[in-house]
Amino acid sequence: MKRSLNDYREIVGDDAIGEIYRRARKLYGKTVVHVNSTYYGGGVAEILGSIVPLMNDVGIAAGWRMLRGTPDFFNITKKFHNALQGNSVNLTDIKKKLYCQANEDFSTYSHITHDCVIIHDPQPLPLIQFYQRKQPWVWRVHIDLTNPNSKLWEFLKSFVLKYDVIIISSEEYKLKNMPVEQRIIHPAIDPLSPKNMTISEKDIAKYLKKFNIPTDKPIITQISRFDRFKDQEGLIDIFRLVKQEVDCRLVLCGSMAVDDPESQQYYERTKRKANNFVKDQDVILITSENNILVNALQRISTVVVQKSLREGFGLTVTEALLKKKPVVASKVGGITLQIVDGETGFLVEPNDKEGFAKRIIEIMTNPSLAKTLGENASDDVKKRFLITRLLGDYLDLLQDLIT
């Protein structure tokens, strides 16, 4: 269903809507193209799916294109992604060549004549090398850049330097020795998307039945791609500790993104680790990509956990907070902005499994604490992390660049 900015009036109020229309006025008819490397799976696709139609609704001609990659290409870019988050990488010439080749191929069939180009994450970063520059190019990087692998960064920097603006998700990710303008824009979620919209009790029950999720015990959930940085394995250890005090279930729901070739392997490892619990149906692993299921799971959970070891900005955290869910999450990256510790949820050091278990048990055994955290959380998300605010930020950026 086509969504319009007006649909958000009830959530953010008329003043905010009028203000966004006003900020769009100088941009009528301007053309903007976003490029990333996947239409689904992960936060970037999630945001683009909402922000691109809204940009069009306010009068910009905004498009979204996807860089086509081979499995080899995605193997390499996943290694780059991990290395940008601090892992080591064996940066061979062949890797560099395959990385650039997919970008060069794209440039031979995809014409870019827009007023502004917005490139998301490292996969399409080299595209700038293969086009005649006619407009500002923006690199919007969604990952945690506090500790990038220096060898890889030196290589990528040759592309980054050509950009007009870099957008990062948090002050902490500011790149040192970088003579390109850096702006901070916090990601956001769409309260009207199928993943976040209000759904009826009947629909929730239907989806839980369809995916075989019993509700006779309290449920702890983490919604995340199967990825070692999301640390589902660590969460199973925490679950073991919680289970000693409170009988409950753990649901790990994670789709496999097309641009992430490692996820299947990590999923298998997680499943082996959960082995006995899986047999007893106390750990439920789900790999289907289904927005309403994610919505339903977040709503029926007693606690939502995000046990990430690295997180540029965890949309899943904000999705749960909007739904008034108490969230216990790692004190890493963007999550430290998303949760006000002790007020809208709890932050725990990523390796402190006992600390996680303690907070989860505290919430499970204290419904009034859960309720207070949830209510604070939802109010806070509405103020800071909705898609309408993100749209306004993009409009300001475009005004500065192309008017």
**Least distance from C-beta 85 to ligand UDP, angstroms?**
10
**In terms of Cα–Cα distance, which of 379, 320, 382, 331 is closest to 355?**
331
CB nearer to ligand UDP: pick between 243 and 269? 269
Does residue 106 sit in helix, strand or coil? Answer: helix
Nearest approach, Cβ of 289 to ligand UDP (angstroms)? 6
Query: Does residue 119 bind ligand UDP (CB under 6 A)?
Result: no
Piece of the chain touching ligand UDP by CB under 6 A; list 73-81, 120-128, 177-185, 310-318: 310-318
The helix (run of H) or strand (run of E) holding residue 360 is: helix 353-364
Q: Which of 57, 144, 262, 319 binds ligand UDP (CB under 6 A)?
A: 319
Residues 6 or more apart whose CB falls under 8 angstroms from that of 387 comprise: 8, 47, 50, 51, 54, 188, 189, 190, 191
- The contact mask relative to ligand UDP for 151-180 (x = CB under 6 A, - = no) is ------------------------------
| Dihedral sign of CA atoms 270, 274, 279, 281 in order | negative
**Shorter beta-carbon distance to ligand UDP: residue 42 or 218:** 42
**Cα 333–chain centre separation:** 12
32 binds ligand UDP (CB under 6 A): no
Instruction: Give whichever of 254 and 261 is closer to ligand UDP, judged by the CB atom.
Output: 254
| 320 or 401: CB nearest ligand UDP | 320
DSSP strands (E only) in 126-217 = 137-140, 165-168, 181-184
Residue 254 or 392 with smaller CB distance to ligand UDP:
254
CA distances from residue 173 to 4, 334, 394 in whole angstroms, order as listed: 33, 9, 19
Applying CB under 6 A, among 250, 284, 315, 360 the residue interacting with ligand UDP is: 315
294 vs 364 by CB, closer to ligand UDP: 294
Terminal alpha carbon distance of the chain = 31
> Measured over all CA atoms, what is the biggest interatomic distance in the chain, rounded to whole angstroms?
63
Give me the residue whose beta carbon is nearest to ligand UDP: 43
DSSP of 324-339, one letter per residue?
T--EEEES-TTHHHH-
Distance of CA 336 to the CA centre of its chain: 14
User: Which residue lies nearer to ligand UDP by CB, 45 or 401?
Assistant: 45
Q: Which of 301, 355, 309 is nearest to 335 (CA)?
A: 309
Q: According to the binding rule CB under 6 A, does residue 42 interact with ligand UDP? A: yes
Beta strands in 142-270 (DSSP E): 165-168, 181-184, 219-223, 249-253
Closer to ligand UDP by Cβ: residue 32 or 294: 294
Binding of residue 51 to ligand UDP (CB under 6 A)? no
Minimum gap (Å) between residue 386 Cβ and ligand UDP: 14
Identify which of 2, 18, 58, 52 has the alpha carbon closest to the alpha carbon of residue 32: 52
CA-CA distance, 206 to 200, in Å (whole number)? Answer: 10
Within 246-305, the residues that bind ligand UDP by CB under 6 A are 253-255, 289, 294
Q: Smallest distance, Å, CB 115 to ligand UDP?
A: 27
Residues 189-228, one symbol each (x = binds ligand UDP by CB under 6 A, - = not), give ------x---------------------------xxx---
Task: Name the residues that contact ligand UDP, by CB under 6 A.
Answer: 42-43, 46, 195, 223-225, 253-255, 289, 294, 313-316, 319
